[in-house]
Structure 1
Amino acid sequence: MFGRIIESLENSPIVKDYEIHQLIEEHSTSFLRVEVNLIDGSHLFIKELLFPDGSKYSYHWQSDDRRLLVRWDNDPHHPEIATHPDHKHIGEEVVSSNRISVEEVLSTIAAQIKVRSNENTKI
């Protein structure tokens, strides 16, 4: 059920290591919770819940000092957002965001790590 996520983590050049904290696959419901350590010291927390009539997800990226960088989720607590229930938190700001996959999250984070790395190497 969650093979694509594990494969994405295994193949991503920005993933240092990861730990599966929960993996439940029952008749009609599946749940995955993973903590991912990234090469720049930041962390990605993945939660996915699949059930017969839908799914819930949260991809929470935070810095090594535990500061929220971005969280993508579909918790329906922001009905004012155009893409409700899908949205993302960038620091304190909540903005529209379409449903996103773990692969897309890793790609987005990889681009940000590259930008931050380039900024740190400028003289």
Structure 2
Amino acid sequence: MPHRFDISRIIALLKKNPLTSKVEILTLDEIERRGFYKLRCTLISSKYKLDIKYIKTENDFLYSYQLYANRDVARWDNEPHYPNLRNYPHHYHYKENVSASEFSGEPIEDIKKVFSLVSEIIDSI
């Protein structure tokens, strides 16, 4: 579970990012210490979108960052289904491959990494 989770700070960071042209709040459900959040960023090259999902419970924090255009391009998440990867459960889906990611589950730090990687991916396509 992340030490600090502040959805308003996350949204502000997304809006300030130079790759982002629009941020939509699709779902923002909070009950006591639990929450489900889904955000969508339309990127400057409006062909691409980045969906961000967070599920926060008392004991767990799951995230997913998914880059897509007409199809999925890349996804980073911490769903615990690849236990043999270094840095389990944090991993990265790209094309047909799954590999360990350098994410930590700290949303502010991870978003910075996401946008750096998204920029590299878009430049390489």
| Shorter-chain TM-score tier | 0.7 to 0.9
Of 106, 111, 114, the residue aligned with 2:115 is 106
1:29-40 superposed matches below 5 A: 29-40=34-45
Of 1, 6, 27, the residue aligned with 2:32 is 27
What is the TM-score normalised by the length of structure 2?
Answer: 0.81
Structure 1: gaps of 5 or more residues:
none
CA contact (8 A) 1:87 1:94 kept: yes
CA RMSD of aligned residues (A): 1.7
Count of equivalent residues = 114
SS of aligned partner of 2:114: helix
Deviating above 2 A after TM superposition, structure 1's stretches of 4 or more consecutive aligned residues are: 110-113
Of 89, 93, 118, the residue aligned with 1:89 is 93
Give the aligned partner of residue 14 of structure 1. Answer: 19
CA contact (8 A) 1:5 1:103 kept: no
Structure 2: gaps of 5 or more residues:
1-5, 105-109
Of 50, 57, 64, the residue aligned with 2:56 is 50
Structure 1 stretch 37-46 or stretch 104-113: which is displaced more?
A: 104-113
Cα displacement (A) at 1:96: 0.6
What is the alpha-carbon distance in structure 2 between the residues aligned to residue 27 and residue 71 of structure 1?
A: 29
What is the TM-score normalised by the length of structure 1?
Answer: 0.82
Give the aligned partner of residue 60 of structure 1. Answer: 66
Higher relative contact order (CA 8 A, sep 6+): 2
SS of aligned partner of 2:9: helix
What is the alpha-carbon distance in structure 2 between the residues aligned to residue 107 and residue 82 of structure 1?
A: 21
Give the aligned partner of residue 69 of structure 1. Answer: 73
